[in-house]
Amino acid sequence: MKTKEKKNKKPNIGKYLNRYKMPIFLYVFITIITGAGDVFRAVLLANSVERITETDFHMAIILLWIVLAISLLQRVGYYILNYIYYKFSNRIMSDLNLDLAKQAFKLNSKTYNDHDTGTFVQRIVEDPARIVDCLATIVDVAMEMLTAFIMIVYIATLNLWISLVLVGLLIIGFVLEYYRVKVRRKNKYIVRRKNDDINSLTTEIVRSEKDIKSLGLEEELSQVSKERYESYRNARYKMDMTDVHFWQMRNFLINTVTILILIMGVWLMDMDIGLLSVATFMIIYSNNGSIFNLVNGFRQITNCYVDIKVSHNRMFSLFDEDEFVTEQFGNDNIEEIVGEIEFKDVSFTFREFEYQKPETLQMLKKHGSRFNKTLVSENQIFKDLSFKIKPNTTVAFVGKSGSGKSTILNLMSKMFEADDGEILIDGHNIKDLDKETLRKNISLVNQFPYIFDMTIKENLLLAKGDATDEEIESAIKKSSLDEFVSNLPKGIDSKVGESGIKLSGGQKQRLAIARAFLRNSPIIIFDESTSSLDNFAQGDIKKSIDTLKGHSTIIIVAHRLSTIKNVDKIFFLDKGQIQDIGTFNELFERNENFKSMFLAENI
């Protein structure tokens, strides 16, 4: 038996930065050096101006040559910085994307039902990119701010009165930024959440294009799109205009005071007062933008901080069990599964939750980026359900829609977790089995299987990576896909498009069934997996399934009762309970409900 790995703690961005400590250190170090070059350039330029006013042209030229040399060295430094950034930022983003995708694989089926597609796409793809870009921006802008700060300090040392005005201006500017950031954080989160809604809708429209056209839903979905885009636009407009109000107030203050400083400088140069030299005034004049650069740099850093905070919370909320529940597996690893399945007093209730999204600053402070989960409804599917399936037999579950057929399959494949009771495979509680044992020994073919944007062969190799050409050919033939494949110009090397868009519904099902045949697991589950096939193809696949008898445990849910005539046992379900068990002929003779269902589909 293998030991279950210790559950990791919720990660943070520091974990990923630590992997590249040396490149990051080098990036920061070179940024500091190049930033120091800006300071030296500004000071040397100021001194050259002063030398010119003193008619010391020789020294002024020497200082300008030094400025040129510093500028050339800075260009080299910036080239190295770009190389480090693009090389290692992509690695950090790739690491984040991969770990977030792996975490998404661990989430249970119920979690995916409770959240829309945009929730995952934004967190896995876009949020990591925002964080990495913002971290680089913070380092770069911090160095620019340092340059501006040193120049302000330098200017302040030239005159006491000007230094007092500068200090007062900076204090007011930073206070305004502090309040702007508080408001922006709340607005930013709302904008990102509405962007999730847009991404989800766009994904659904692209994937359901044929249904939209066939049902004439263009206008209705256009209206829904309009409403969501307007909602996003209004939220974005509110966030941007709030920033504009703060920025305009701040910029008006800075522009006014910098002009006043120049006026003060002219007044101090008055011959009657003589408190400021022409050279000093020129230094103040040429660097009066440093105040704006310092406060604007603070704005950029605070914006990045907000983006990082929101993205960080959203990304790593995927590791929050309260909101994104993961699959839980045991420690027991079984090398060989025979295929006996037993339900003992199993109860299961389907619960629907509503995730209240924080729309106000108060809710945001209380819950952070997390959702407030509220139970909306619950529907008990089973209570004390018990049955047993012998190994290497073929059984079917039939019943009206909503009777619990597919839920049984999801429970025995551990896509869903039972509330009470035991589900046993070869006498082992399914909760005690590890992931490898369950996933390796159970194949589930859904009614609407997902076909990946790969070639037919590559889709099949996903089921068994080391499959031979003979095995692939056999699986294709058993699934009645051989005629279709043979007519394709590239045969099994033909691409099928995203979600198998180039295939019909029946062809998708055949390809999914071929994957199951190729995998040849001890337990194979077919959940309405032949519903899109014509009678001829369904008959061929039925014969192929029959060839697995005695080699695998086959569980079938089918809406056409004629396709399960030859199974070993049929479980007839009604309202979450097994009403009757027997062969097709036995149920047809004694069970009126079963007989009525069969006759209804054959009228």
CA-to-CA distance for 593 and 603, rounded, in angstroms?
16
Cβ atoms of residues 358 and 364 within 8 Å: yes
CA-to-CA distance for 18 and 327, rounded, in angstroms?
29
| Residue 177 structure tokens | 């930024």
With CA atoms as reference, report the closest residue to 196 among 362, 310, 108: 310
Specify the domain boundaries for CATH 3.40.50.300 within the chain.
Answer: 341-601
Report the percent of the chain where pLDDT is more than 90. Answer: 10
With CA atoms as reference, report the closest residue to 515 among 551, 465, 566: 465
- For 323-336, the pLDDT digits (tens) are 788 888 889 888 88
Instruction: Name the phi and psi angles at 332, rounded to 5.
Output: -75, 125
With CA atoms as reference, report the closest residue to 197 among 124, 101, 117, 130: 117
Mean pLDDT is lowest, of 234-238, 364-368, 497-501, for 364-368
- For 466-489, the pLDDT digits (tens) are 889 899 998 888 888 888 888 888
- pLDDT for res 361: 41
- For 413-423, the pLDDT digits (tens) are 888 888 999 99
- pLDDT for res 344: 93
Judge whether residue 214 has pLDDT over 60.
no
At the fourth CATH level, the homologous superfamily of domain 92-319 is ABC transporter type 1, transmembrane domain (1.20.1560.10)
With CA atoms as reference, report the closest residue to 435 among 334, 357, 575: 334
CA-to-CA distance for 514 and 492, rounded, in angstroms?
12
Report the percent of the chain where pLDDT is more than 70. Answer: 85
What is the number of other CB atoms lying within 10 angstroms of the CB of residue 223? 10
Single-letter amino acid, residue 362 = Q
Q: Parallel, antiparallel, or unpaired for β 428-429 and 420-425?
A: antiparallel
Judge whether residue 255 has pLDDT over 50.
yes
Residues 6+ apart with CB under 8 A from 356: 363, 371, 372, 373, 374
Q: Each residue of 366-398: b (16+ CB within 10 Å) or e?
A: eeebbbeeeeeeeeebbeebebebebbbbbbbb
| Residue scoring higher pLDDT (347 or 235) | 347
* pTM beyond 0.85: no
With CA atoms as reference, report the closest residue to 288 among 248, 264, 255, 266: 255
CA-to-CA distance for 250 and 292, rounded, in angstroms?
9
Q: What strands lie across the sheet with 420-425, from one edge to the other?
A: 372-389, 341-356, 420-425, 428-429
Judge whether residue 86 has pLDDT over 80.
yes
Q: How confident is the model at residue 294 (pLDDT cuts 50, 70, 90)?
A: confident
CA-to-CA distance for 30 and 26, rounded, in angstroms?
6
CA-to-CA distance for 217 and 213, rounded, in angstroms?
6
| Residue 61 structure tokens | 């030229």
Topology of domain 341-601 in CATH is Rossmann fold (3.40.50)
Residue whose tokens read 């930073």: 174
Cβ atoms of residues 504 and 532 within 8 Å: yes
